[in-house]
Structure 1
Amino acid sequence: MPEGHTIHRLARDLHATFAGRVVEVSSPQGRFSSGAAVIDGTVLHTTDAHGKHLFLGFGAATERRWVHVHLGLYGKFRISPGPAEQPWGEVRMRLATATAYADLRGPTRCQLVDDTDKLAVHERLGPDPIRGDDPAHALRRISRSRTPIAVLLMDQKVMAGVGNAYRAEVLFRAGLDPATPGRDVDPVVLSGIWADLVQLMNHGVRTGRIDTVRPEHEPDAMGRPPRVDAHGGEVYVYRRTGLPCFLCGTEIRTREAAARNLFWCPNCQEPSRQQ
């Protein structure tokens, strides 16, 4: 599932390509036909992202309609130069101008909503590290919880946009055992995790990659080959099961947490090492 940086980057790119223009909106697949008919031929004024939720705002501010998109596990939203080609596959929604088009395939959600509906989505999500949100409420919630920190970080009601890769990586960078209950995490460490997410996820928006290794652990600095992975980016533990930790050489392990594979180093993130 795409993490928050991907959705924010997509919102930025869609805005740069279509904002301020009259957009043809269609649903070649047919499942969004009624929604597409309402906004077809109107101006895309703005885009917005919160966590893993994307919003495209059409029409005047007084009667704004939003397309709410959640890509889920299989969704893809691809922007291509125009003129638009004949649709192939199951295209839920197509945006098109004379110079560019974007096809949405396989999302969990593609729905036309109004301002009230959009606000309801924001209200059920936690603060987003990329939006510049105030993390105070999320940090208080974590500090009172018996739930493991690895589960809390994946709860979108606690923090929005954090996915499996960023979860694993910030816990490694903090030297924190993923099983630690939220209430047992030192407040300074918890604040540091938020600050780390802000830095790493904004870097992801700029580059389109998840890069989490510090300069001294990059391939050139360590004399190791760069990571080869469809997801790209240099990481410490994510999807490195059975490989040696860059810091201590211990094999990276994996187990399930919050219905996703959790990756960690049992030595660098050993409970006895935590202060």
Structure 2
Amino acid sequence: MPEGHTVHRLAARHRELFGGEKVQASSPQGRFAEGAALLSGAVLARTEAYGKHLLHHYEGGQVLHVHLGLYGKFADGDGEPPAPVGQVRLRLCTDLHWLDLRGPTACELLSPPEVDALRARLGADPLRTDADPDAAYARIRRSPTPLFALLLDQSIVAGTGLIFVTEALFRAGLPPTTPGRELAPEGWRRIWADLVELMGVAVGTGRIDTVHPHHLPEAMGRPPRLDRHGGEVYVYRRAALPCHVCGTEILRADMVGRNVYWCPRCQPAPGRRR
């Protein structure tokens, strides 16, 4: 599933292609035919991302909500659109550009109250200027749940996924099993600032890089990471490989149905802190 930086990049891309333009909408697949008919001829006023949710705001009050989920993908291009290939849920066109959406978890029109309800159930997005990290910490500090699970909870922190969460915990030196109520205020401030920085850089580059400059391949004399997810990371998908910092073997386990990765030396349990 795309992490929040990808959705913010999509919001910017769609604004660049269609902002201020009257769009023609269709649903070649047919599953969004009614919604597409309501959108067709409307002018896209603005776009926004909130966590992993993409919103297109149209003049007249229509709001398109898209959540890509595990399989959703956008494709776009210039000029005349090609013949639809596969299950195209939504197609947007102008005289200059086209956009296709396939396989989303959600593609729907929302009313203003429904948009408000969506925002209300989402946590603080590190990529938004209106984020409230204090509200997120208020929930974290009361919970015995492991930090790994809390930081993946989109109602607490919106937009974070496995990569950002596992890497932020490594950079903070905290094991993923740390109960939320054991996270001190200064520890939360460091994690939040790190998420803001890492995710912000990812919006600009389109990839997730979390290692410090002195741990990059060229600095360490090691091969670059070869992984379909791209980016240089410390622990994510590096199980059984040596830690870039201390050389200890990276561990992997299952937690809340997700793979979690950590270094037992750099992220020691409280009773084993160096």
Deviation string, structure 1 residues 100-137 (Cα, Å, up to 9, x no partner): 11111000000011111111100000010000212101
- Residue equivalent to 1:101: 98
- TM superposition shift of 1:51: 0.3
Deviation string, structure 1 residues 44-99 (Cα, Å, up to 9, x no partner): 1110110000001112xxx3111110000111012222221001000000111122
1:113 paired with 2:106, answer no
Q: Distance in 2 between matches of 1:85 and 1:197?
A: 39
- Residue equivalent to 1:226: 224
1:76 paired with 2:78, answer no
Q: Distance in 1 between matches of 2:126 and 2:220?
A: 30
Confirm or deny: 8 A CA contact 1:6 1:208 kept in the other structure.
yes
Q: Which moved more, 1:223-232 or 1:13-22?
A: 223-232
For structure 1, which runs of at least 5 residues remain unmatched after alignment?
Answer: none
- Residue equivalent to 2:3: 3
TM-score when normalising by structure 1: 0.96
Q: Distance in 2 between matches of 1:274 and 1:10?
A: 42
For structure 2, which runs of at least 5 residues remain unmatched after alignment?
Answer: none
Q: Distance in 1 between matches of 2:221 and 2:45?
A: 48
Q: Distance in 2 between matches of 1:136 and 1:37?
A: 42
The amino acid of 1:231's aligned partner reads: H
- Residue equivalent to 1:38: 38
SS of the residue aligned with 1:167?
helix
- Residue equivalent to 2:238: 240
- Residue equivalent to 2:22: 22
The amino acid of 1:185's aligned partner reads: L
The amino acid of 1:138's aligned partner reads: A
* 157, 160, 166: which one aligns with 1:159: 157
- TM superposition shift of 1:28: 0.4
Q: Distance in 2 between matches of 1:33 and 1:274?
A: 58
The amino acid of 2:127's aligned partner reads: I
* 83, 87, 107: which one aligns with 1:86: 83
Instruction: Give the ranges of 4+ consecutive aligned residues of structure 1 lying more than 2 Å apart after TM superposition.
Output: 272-275
SS of the residue aligned with 1:56?
strand
The amino acid of 2:50's aligned partner reads: H
Deviation string, structure 1 residues 148-177 (Cα, Å, up to 9, x no partner): 000000000011001010000000000001
Q: Distance in 1 between matches of 2:78 and 2:248?
A: 47
- Residue equivalent to 1:216: 214
SS of the residue aligned with 2:12?
helix
- 1:162-241 residue pairs with structure 2 within 5 A? 162-241=160-239
| Cα RMSD, aligned residues only | 1.1
Q: Distance in 2 between matches of 1:230 and 1:26?
A: 32
- 1:251-270 residue pairs with structure 2 within 5 A? 251-270=249-268
- TM superposition shift of 1:14: 0.5
Q: Distance in 2 between matches of 1:126 and 1:163?
A: 13
**Count of residue pairs the alignment pairs up:** 272
Return closer, same or farther for 1:197/1:23 CA change in 2, 3 Å cut-off. Answer: same
- TM superposition shift of 1:189: 1.1
SS of the residue aligned with 2:22?
strand
User: Identity, % of aligned pairs?
Assistant: 54
Q: Distance in 1 between matches of 2:121 and 2:258?
A: 22
- TM superposition shift of 1:274: 4.8
Q: Distance in 1 between matches of 2:125 and 2:183?
A: 20
